[in-house]
Amino acid sequence: MFTGIVSDVGQVRHIEQTGDTHLVIATHYDVSTVEIGASIACSGVCLTVVDKGSAADRWFAVTASGETLSKTTLGSWKVGDPVNLERAMRVGDELGGHIVTGHVDGVAELVRLAPEGESLRMTFAVPAALSRFIAAKGSVALDGISLTVNEVDGARFGINVIPHTQQVTTIGRLKAGMKVNLEVDLMARYVARLVNA
């Protein structure tokens, strides 16, 4: 489980495609404290650490399956791309964002952005099947970032991004037409399941 509070922006260092896709991600984390088998959210995608570098050469490696590639932006990543990183939450940690599983539901596309004061106002389009899980003043995770929904209009929703979030995550680098990993609120997913049962 995660909180949607990004704690590092890493960088894709190497990609290898064999049966699955293997990625090496450079990080500022002290990798001596990262266990093999640990979960790290990589731009919102919960991935398992399968290898790591030394304390001096900070990187970790993950493997992504075909299912992961089909539901996320990960298949379009290139060497050098920035990646929002968050280590798994521990019991007793502050829950500063909202409960995020790292199980991406689909991909959202940025269709409009404009400055609003010092913030950025962004509008995203989502697949119609996911739009019913997004509510005004509810939460979403975009590329692993916990954000509050301002408004919803059909399969589009808007958010505001403050300067701090623009600086410490990748969201400030987005341009219209770019895609992000979307995880809807966990509670919305289960409420919808119960209502339709």
Are 16 and 69 within one domain?
A: yes
- Ranges in the chain, pLDDT < 50: none
Between CA 195 and CA 36 the distance in angstroms is: 39
* Cβ 172 vs Cβ 159: under 8 Å: no
Assess whether 113 and 76 both reside in one domain. Answer: no
d(CA 189, CA 6) in angstroms, rounded, equals 23
135, part of any domain: yes
Look at the block and give the residue holding tokens 């609003």: 116
**pLDDT given at position 193:** 66
CA 169, 170, 176, 182 torsion-angle sign = negative
pLDDT, averaged across the chain: 93
Can you read off the two tokens belonging to residue 82?
């920035």
Q: What is the pLDDT of residues 13-43, one digit of tens each?
A: 999 988 899 999 999 999 999 999 999 999 9
The structural domain count of the chain equals: 2
The one-letter amino acid code at 176 reads A
* Beta bridge partner(s), residue 84: 9
Q: What is the pLDDT of residue 1?
A: 87
Are 70 and 111 within one domain?
A: no
Task: Tell me if 120 sits within 8 A of 160, measured CB to CB.
Answer: yes
Which pLDDT score is estimated for 185?
A: 86
Same domain, yes or no: 111 and 187? yes
Per DSSP, which regions of 80-171 are E strands? 82-87, 106-116, 119-125, 139-142, 145-148, 151-153, 156-161
pLDDT of amino acid 76: 95
Q: Would you state the pLDDT for residue 96?
A: 73
Distance separating alpha carbons of residues 153 and 113, to the nearest angstrom: 16
pLDDT at position 99 is 84
The answer on 112 and 186 residing in a single domain is: yes
Query: What is the pLDDT, as a whole number, of residue 197?
Result: 56
Q: How many other CB atoms are there within 10 angstroms of residue 115's CB atom?
A: 8
pLDDT for 55 equals 83
